[in-house]
Structures are given as structure tokens and as C-alpha cells.
Structure 1
């Protein structure tokens, strides 16, 4: 198939903790609600497949494109590793309230317990944080299963969780097994494996619209958690004009911060991987084979692996994006 850069309709999800910043700050098409927590930008998750919104593939699901030409869309090495499964999920999240304290399983647990191909390794890039906003990533001290159970049963879980102040530009790598939650007042971009498995450990005793508490998954969480105390949880890389700065790079994905002031070239074919760009500041003009595309803050675009040289320019001043691929 002859691919070109692809944009998709966002999949908007109401959440008990969601707000209105996906509309007010990222210009998402939200109607009649102030509790939209997630915009799934590009997804191949079963039942939640992204749909192309323009061009020759308008109306097609991403899974249809993968089925027709997996190597052309994703790259030969990606196809060889993952088959016809689109391996990553891209989101914007708005937390008006704290999310639940949670953990995600790794690939092995996801396959053993759920029969699904992927666990959930993820990363966050903070786009906006209200004054005093915090989030949780990791434990304050060395932990083990029995000690954690004691804290959960005694209602003292929050005392052993490591809180971090959050501000725009902060980066958090959240590997499978790490206890975490996003705090209220935070707007962020999330890049993750294509999985929606979440084990809730604590939900602040909240109730939904029907007055019911959400289900907890304590036993699954105890088995999934990584109890080791880590040295570093947060980074704050500074951008460099017309170059990429690595944010997170692992076997699942590689994400960089790209700032363009004059121009920058990307060649997905040479990477042998699709590239996803999430606009986080300013506006890009994208040129591919004499066709023009725009990318503004709050939008995402997929550059198929079969595409050759793509030229990026900033329309005014500078523009920034998160650029992700599989190395």
C-alpha cells in the first residue's frame, strides 16, 4: 500500500476523575461534559481501534491498515516482533481529581492471567500542572508484599508512597510493576504499550454516579508490584533547537522531545518503524512528497514506516512534539 502521514479521530473517555482541559487546552471536541479524562489518540486495542479521519484511508480502522500491510505501516522489524498487533497506545490525560493508586502487569503476567499479548510499560510527559500538583511514583522505602499488605489493611498506604511535585516538562518513566497515580490538576501525554489492564490498590473511598465504589484488585496488585526502591523516578530534559532529546528508551518504545525552529527531517523507512508525533507546543508544517499537513498542540500524527523523507518546519517561532518509534 502507498501510505502517507495519517491522522485519526480521538477516542474520548469520560472518567470519574476527568475534567475539561482536553477541550480548553488541547481543543478536543468535547460536548456537554466536564469529566473527560482521556483522549486516546492512536489505538489498536480491541474494541477501541482508531479511525483515520482524512485522506485516501478516511474511515478505515488502524487495525484494517495493519491487516493489509503490516510491514508498510509498522516496519518489518516491528511486524516480525509483534505480528499484526499495533504495539503502542498514545493518550492525553486530564486529571481534575487524583486517579486511583494502581499498578500494571508486565507482559508475562498479562499473558498468564488475561491471555493478552501486552502488559503496560508507560511514560508521562507533563504538559501542564496547577500550583501544588503532585503525583505518585514508587515507594518511599524498601517494601515487600507482607509490609505492603499491613499498610493497606491499616489504612496507611499513603504514608509509604513517594510523592513528586509536578511541573510542565517533567518526565516520568513508569515501567510495569511500579506503583503510581496521577494527581489532580495535571495534564499530560502518555505513551504506553497497547494494553488497558489496570490493578487498583486504593481509590480514596470514592463513589461513582450511582454511589458505588470502584473495584479494587489487591491480590493481583501484590503479585504485579515491583517492591524495589529506585534511585530516580523523575527527569526534566531541556529541549535543543532542531534536534531530539531522549526522554525514555527501552525495548518497547523510544520517545524523544523534538523542538523545531527552522526545519528537521525524519525518515521512518530508515528507522524501519512507524513514528508517532504528539504536538505539545506551537504548530508544525509537515511536507511529504509535495503534500502538506499540519500538526498543532493536542494533535497526533502517525508517519508510516514505508514513508521516506518527511520535512518538519515550525509555522511561527518554534514548535515542539513528542516523537515515538520502536528501535
Structure 2
């Protein structure tokens, strides 16, 4: 089976989808001739022409607004916002229009569009190139929110998102773009060295939205993670020797609550890990759901390991990230509680 980076898998997903359905169009800033700032769309314009893959002005509001109109008309736009930090001018279009059009039209219109965005830190991009805004979208009814952690899932989830009848926010952890992250390091030391490239089948396949995956079986504690933090959780479990079960959520909305509940009821303990800030982060919703559904099985308080409640620190980027040391400390404290 071919081994690919996440960038190659994402590009493959768009290529397969465009070849399968002429209604799929790809556009955004620099995604055409240049192939995108991270090269996720490289070669698509040459293969499908300028009417299927094209550049857009530097206007996120315009990109998303145009995609919304195309989707309502019957096309399936897959647009790129160059960094998740740039999406805020388009937030009203996403929340007030795309997320609500099915309901406002009583089902007469749907909005089959995907908004792809690189998310999270790892490139020393500072406050305007490193944010993790997933909680801003999981709060919005009518949206679906996806965060892959590996190339195989990235391709399958993106194909499923393009084929979905409703708007999907597709967040791509940029630390995983060129290979799975070596979660054992709290600093960028050969960050792609440990894990091999992902095995990605050729051709069409889809990974169902709303289904989590058990990345590591365990009996003592459940770790809920997504994106880059899946590898940090794996590293923390290995370094502490704690028999942790790691759930890769993959889709935040809709959430696979059944998988979460089954795991926590088995282990009796839960640690939630994400890169975004602590206050009002998606981990708060996860903790509330675990408490609601697993209260009588819990043997310790639910722990959260997250980024700091500060504007994104450029110089302290690798201290800001939850690393294996911080996750490992939470695991030990949870086991001792």
C-alpha cells in the first residue's frame, strides 16, 4: 500500500473527488498555479483546469460566501482558508448562512461545502498563524467539524466531507502535514523521525464522519485526544507505563459519544488533551459529557491538559503545547486520586 504524508493524502482526496464528480471545485488563496502555501493542491489546476481549481482574492469572507452560493446552486466546493487564524472575517457567513441554510429553507437548500484550514502551532508562526479555533465551530448547530491525525484518515475523512450534504469544517494539524509527529519531544527535535508515513490506499474510500477510533487499547485510564495530541498521548502513555486507552476522536461534531462512554466506563478514569486554550475549549464539553454519562463509574476527577489561557506565545511555543511530561503528570495524578 502506498505510504504518503498528510499533505499527499489530502491532495489525493481532492483529486479522487474531482475525478469522480464534476461538481467538485477547489479554490482559495494561492491554491491554483502555486498549489497552496503548504502544497496541498499542487497539480490540481494543471489536471482539471482553471474552472475547477482556481485562485481567489485575499478575502476569506468572499471565498466562503462564494462557496456558499455555489453549494446552494448544486456544486460541491472544497475551499482552503490559508490558516485557521484567517477565518474570522468569514465567520458570519459560516455561522449565519452556511450552518443554517438547510433549516431556514426547510430542506429546500443544502450546503455541501468543505472549508479546509491548517490549524495549530509548530511552525513558529506566532499569534496569527498558530491558533486552534475548533471550539468556535463545535458550538454551532448545523456544522460538522473534523480533525484527522494521520494520512489514512485525512484522505478518507476529506472524501466523506466532500460527499456530505452539509457544511464541514476540516481542520488540518500543520505539525502532522509532513509526517506523524514524534510526540516524545517537547521541542522540535527531528519531529518527523519516529513514526513512518501513513499507509493510504489508492482510489476512492471514505471514513465515516462521527466515528472515533481506539488508537491504543488500555484498562486503567481513557485519554481523549485529536489531531497532533494523539501522538503526545501515545508518548505519555509509553513513558509513564500507564495502561492508557487512547481514543482518537477524529470528528468533533458529530461526536462519537458511544465510544467515549464505553471506554470511560471500562477504565473509570479520563484525561482530556487538546492544544487549544483551557477555558471554554472543546475539552470542557468532553469533560461535561463524561461526567454526565459516566459519573457512577468514575474513580477520579476528570483531568484536562491544554494550551495556556493566553494569547498565542510566539517565543514560548513549545512550552505552550501540551507535551508528554504534562500529560504524563496528569495521568499519574489521575491514577493516584
Q: TM-score, normalised by structure 1?
A: 0.25
Higher strand fraction (1 or 2): 1
Q: TM-score, normalised by structure 2?
A: 0.25
Higher helix fraction (1 or 2): 2
